[in-house]
Structure 1
Amino acid sequence: MSTEPAANGPLDLTAALAEVTAVTGEHAARTDRDAEFPVEALDALRSTGLLGLMVPAAHGGLGGTVADLVAAAQTLGRSDMSVGMIFAMHCQQAEAIVRYGDRALRDELLPDIAKGGIYLASVTTETGKGGHLLSAQAQLTGGDGQLVIDRFAPVVTGGGYADGFLITMRSPGAVTDSDVSLVYAHRSQLGISGSGEWQPMGMRASHSGALKLSGSVPARQVVGEHGGFHEIAAQVFGPLAHLGWSAVWLGTAAGALSRVLRLLRSPAGRERFDLTSELLLSRISRSRQRLEAVHALLTRALGVVESGSDLSAPARQLLLNSLKITAADECHAAVDGLVTALGLRHGYLKDSPTHLERALRDLRSAALNYSNDRLHLADGRLALRDQGVNFA
C-alpha cells in the first residue's frame, strides 16, 4: 500500500524517515490535544536533511524526485497527518524555487533549504477568494528595486514557524486579479502578526492560522516572471499539491487500517472480536478496496507527472484533480468504515491504540483543503473541452 523509498544509494531515505516518525510518534498525542505545531518533528526534518529532499545535489540537497516526495509523504502520513502535510507543502514550495527561481535566488536559498535552515510556508489564501490559486487581491507595489508586501492570509499552514514564505500577490500595475506573481520573502524581511486562535476539529498540529505579513523585499525575489504564476501553478503547485496531499492522506488511512489489523490479530483482539464475522470482514474489505483505488490513481498520476508531459492539457488536469477528489473522499470513507467496524471502544474512543478517532478528524479536512466542490466545477468545465473523453 506504499511506494517505498529506495533502500540504498544517495537517495536512501529510510533511516531519515524512521528518525522523523519516531520523534513524531512520541509527540503526536500532545500536539493534537493542545493544537501545538510539531516543533520536534520539524527539528527532525531539519537535522535529517529531509527539508532538502527536492533540492538538487549541486546545491547540497538530496536531489530527490517527485516519486521520492510521494513515498516520504506516505510514510510521514502514517505517523501524523499534520507532519506529512507540513512536509509535502514545504517540498512543493522548494520545487517552485528550483524550477522557476532565477540563478541568484537559487544560489542564495537552496543551500540553506538543503541544510534545514529554511522551512517554507505557502501564502495563497485571501479573504473573499479562499484558496483560489489563480487570482489575487492584494497588489505588489514599490520602486527603486524593492517590492512592498502588505498581505493578509486567513490560512497559512505552519506560518508562525516558517523561516520563509512564497506569497501570491497581484503583479505591480496589474488591473485584473488574474495577473498574479509569486514572491519569496524571508521571515526577517517581514513584520508578522497572527490573528485569532487555531482550534480546528482535526489537523490540529498543522497550526494553519491567519497571518498578516508586511514588509519589503528586493525585486529579484520574484519567482518566475511577473504575472506568470499561472504557469507555476499548472506545472508545480497544482500537481505537487495533489500528489503530495493524496500521498499523505493515503498514508494516514493505510496506517489506520494497519493498526486495526494488528489489533484484530493480537491475542486480545482475537478474544474481543469474531474474526469469522461476515460483517466485520466485509467492512475491512471495503476499506482496503478504497485504499487500493487511491493507490492506483496516485501511481497513475505520478507516472504522468514524471513523464514530463504538459500538465496544463485538459486530460492531465482532470486526472490530477480526480486524484485529489478521490483521495480526499475515499481515505476518509475508509477510516469511517473502520470506526463502524470496530465499534465504540476501539473505533470511537480517543485512547484506542488504533487512533482511528484522530485519523478520522484529520481526514475530514481533506475534502475542504482546496475544496472538492471547487475542483468538481473546474472538472466540469474541463470535461466539456474533451468531447472524446480521452484519458491522460
Structure 2
Amino acid sequence: MTTTQTRPDQREIGDRVESVLPVLRDHARQVDADASFPTAPLKALRDSGLMGLLVPVAHGGLGGGLDDLVRVAAELSGECLSTGMIWAMHCQQVAALVGHGSPELQADLLPRLAAGEVYVASVTSEKVKGGHLLSAHAPLRREDGKVHLDRDAPIVTGGSDADGFLITMKDSESAQPAEVSLVYADREQLTVRHAEGFSWDPMGMRGTHSGPLHLSGTVAESAIVGGAGGFRDVALRTFVPVGHIAWASCWLGAARGALRAVLELVRSPAGRKQFNLESDLLRARLARVRLDLDTTAALIAQVVRDTSLAPDPEAPDVQLRLNGLKVHAAERSFAVVDTLVEVAGLRHGYLRDAPLPLERLFRDLRSSSLNYANDRLLGANGALVLVDRGVGLAL
C-alpha cells in the first residue's frame, strides 16, 4: 500500500483520538463483562472521522497512511482491545477499497466511509477451508450484468453490526479454488442470517462478536475489488500486510497500556510502600517488558517500510518479516502482560475486579496466537528461510 498524497495534520488526528479515548475507557469493562459489541465506542469513532482515516482527502477522508494506522490502533487498543481490533480490521478493508476498488465503487463508497456511515466487516473464513485466505469454495454466479453470491462464514468479526462486507468468493462455478474474487456489498444489498442457537461467550476479545453468518444477495460487477479473480494481488499488496500491521499495532498498544497502568501503580505513594523499586528482580522484569515493546515497535516500523517501498511483496525476506511480525507481536505482547501480572501480584494483577485491566488484557491477548494461527505462519516461514539463502535482513 503506497500513498503519494499530502501527509495529514498529525495534531488533528491526535486531537480526534484524544476525543474518543475516554469513551473507550468508560465502556471497556462493561463491554468485556457483557460480551457486548462496543456500540458507544464505535459511534464515537464514527463521529470523530477516524473511520475514514485511510480514505483520501479527495473523497472526504483524513488521508492517513500506515504509520497513522499504527499509532491510532495502538492508542485505541490501550483503552479497549476489542474496540481497537474492530476499528483496525475495518481500516484493513478500507485500505483494500482505496487501493483496489473500481472507480464506480470508490465514488459511491469512499465518501460514506469518510463520513463514518459505513463500518466494513471482513468475510474470509469458510467451513470447507477454515482460515486459508487465498482460496474460496462458494462461487459467484453472474446474470444480466449482476453478480450473485451465497456464502456461509463461520467467523465474521463484528458482522452483526456491520454496515457493509468485503467477501471472498470463488470467481465462478467453473473456477479453481485459487481463483478468488473479493466482493463488496452493502448490508442492504444482502440477506444476513445469524446461526440459530449461537451464543458468543469467549475467554477474551469479548466485544468483537466473531460469530457465524450466512450472506446472500446481488451486487454490480463493479463491486468486485481488484477485478475478477484478482484477490491474490489484493491480498499480497494490501490485505495481508495491512492486516498484520493492524493486528500487531493493536496488541502492542494493549501491552503498552498494561505497562503504563503498572508503572502508575508502582510509582504512586501507595505503590512505593508495597513495591520495592530498588529490587533487581522488579527492574529486570520491567526491563524485559520494555525490550519486548521496543522490539515489536521496531519490527512494525520496518514492515510498514517494506509494505510502502518494497518493489516485490513476495520477496522471501519481505514475507519473512511480515509473517514474523504477526508471530512476534502475538507472542511478546501476551508475554508482556503475563510478566506484568507477576509484577503486580494477586491483588492488582489477577483479580477480575482489580482497578488495573491486567486480567482482562491477559484473556484478550491469549487469542492473538490463534488469530490466523502462529503455527501456520511459522511453517510458511520455515520454508521461506530455506529459499532465502542470502539471509536478507533489514540492515
When normalised by structure 2's length, the TM-score is 0.95
Q: Secondary structure at the match of 1:168?
A: strand
For residues 145 and 96 of structure 1, the distance between their equivalents in structure 2, rounded to whole angstroms, comes to 23
For residues 8 and 181 of structure 2, the distance between their equivalents in structure 1, rounded to whole angstroms, comes to 40
Aligned match of 1:374 in 340, 365, 376? Answer: 376
Contact 2:320–2:384 under 8 Å retained in 1: yes
Contact 1:259–1:353 under 8 Å retained in 2: no
Aligned to 2:55: 55
Once the two structures are TM-superposed, the CA of residue 314 in structure 1 deviates from its matched residue by 1.5
Aligned to 2:227: 225
Aligned residue pairs total: 387
Q: Secondary structure at the match of 1:132?
A: coil
Amino acid corresponding to residue 366 of structure 1 in structure 2: S
Aligned match of 1:388 in 378, 387, 390? Answer: 390
1:317–1:11 Cα change, 3 Å: farther
For residues 132 and 284 of structure 1, the distance between their equivalents in structure 2, rounded to whole angstroms, comes to 38
For residues 296 and 117 of structure 2, the distance between their equivalents in structure 1, rounded to whole angstroms, comes to 34
Amino acid corresponding to residue 107 of structure 2 in structure 1: D
For residues 34 and 104 of structure 1, the distance between their equivalents in structure 2, rounded to whole angstroms, comes to 41
Contact 1:141–1:147 under 8 Å retained in 2: yes
For residues 40 and 14 of structure 2, the distance between their equivalents in structure 1, rounded to whole angstroms, comes to 19
Aligned to 1:352: 354
Aligned to 1:208: 210
For residues 19 and 150 of structure 2, the distance between their equivalents in structure 1, rounded to whole angstroms, comes to 39
Aligned to 1:327: 329
Once the two structures are TM-superposed, the CA of residue 102 in structure 1 deviates from its matched residue by 1.0
Aligned match of 1:260 in 238, 259, 262? Answer: 262
CA RMSD of aligned residues (A): 1.6
Structure 1: 4+ residue segments shifted above 4 A? none
For residues 366 and 311 of structure 2, the distance between their equivalents in structure 1, rounded to whole angstroms, comes to 32
Instruction: Extract unaligned runs of 5+ from structure 1.
Output: 1-6
Contact 1:77–1:248 under 8 Å retained in 2: yes
Once the two structures are TM-superposed, the CA of residue 247 in structure 1 deviates from its matched residue by 0.6
1:174–1:235 Cα change, 3 Å: farther
Once the two structures are TM-superposed, the CA of residue 75 in structure 1 deviates from its matched residue by 0.6
Q: Deviations over 1:288-326 (max 9, x none)?
A: 111111111111111222225322222101111111100
Amino acid corresponding to residue 189 of structure 1 in structure 2: Q
Amino acid corresponding to residue 61 of structure 2 in structure 1: G
Q: Deviations over 1:121-175 (max 9, x none)?
A: 0000111322211011111113111111111111111111110000001011444
Contact 1:112–1:118 under 8 Å retained in 2: yes
Amino acid corresponding to residue 130 of structure 1 in structure 2: G
Amino acid corresponding to residue 32 of structure 2 in structure 1: D
1:351–1:190 Cα change, 3 Å: same
Q: Deviations over 1:176-207 (max 9, x none)?
A: 21110000010001111122111110000111
For residues 305 and 201 of structure 1, the distance between their equivalents in structure 2, rounded to whole angstroms, comes to 33
For residues 361 and 125 of structure 2, the distance between their equivalents in structure 1, rounded to whole angstroms, comes to 25
Aligned to 1:139: 139
1:145-294 residue pairs with structure 2 within 5 A? 145-195=145-195, 196-294=198-296
Q: Secondary structure at the match of 2:214?
A: strand
Q: Deviations over 1:17-52 (max 9, x none)?
A: 112111111111111100000011111111111111
For residues 306 and 232 of structure 1, the distance between their equivalents in structure 2, rounded to whole angstroms, comes to 14
Contact 1:11–1:64 under 8 Å retained in 2: no
For residues 128 and 289 of structure 1, the distance between their equivalents in structure 2, rounded to whole angstroms, comes to 41
For residues 274 and 352 of structure 1, the distance between their equivalents in structure 2, rounded to whole angstroms, comes to 20
Instruction: Extract unaligned runs of 5+ from structure 2.
Output: 1-6
Amino acid corresponding to residue 49 of structure 2 in structure 1: G
Aligned to 2:115: 115
For residues 51 and 171 of structure 1, the distance between their equivalents in structure 2, rounded to whole angstroms, comes to 29
Amino acid corresponding to residue 326 of structure 2 in structure 1: K
Once the two structures are TM-superposed, the CA of residue 11 in structure 1 deviates from its matched residue by 6.6
Q: Secondary structure at the match of 1:167?
A: strand
Aligned to 1:16: 16
Contact 1:123–1:156 under 8 Å retained in 2: yes
Once the two structures are TM-superposed, the CA of residue 384 in structure 1 deviates from its matched residue by 2.1
Amino acid corresponding to residue 186 of structure 2 in structure 1: H
Amino acid corresponding to residue 38 of structure 2 in structure 1: P
For residues 222 and 103 of structure 1, the distance between their equivalents in structure 2, rounded to whole angstroms, comes to 11
Once the two structures are TM-superposed, the CA of residue 15 in structure 1 deviates from its matched residue by 1.4
Aligned to 1:3: none
For residues 156 and 329 of structure 2, the distance between their equivalents in structure 1, rounded to whole angstroms, comes to 22
For residues 285 and 350 of structure 1, the distance between their equivalents in structure 2, rounded to whole angstroms, comes to 26
Q: Secondary structure at the match of 2:199?
A: coil
For residues 226 and 309 of structure 2, the distance between their equivalents in structure 1, rounded to whole angstroms, comes to 23
Q: Deviations over 1:47-67 (max 9, x none)?
A: 111111111000011011111
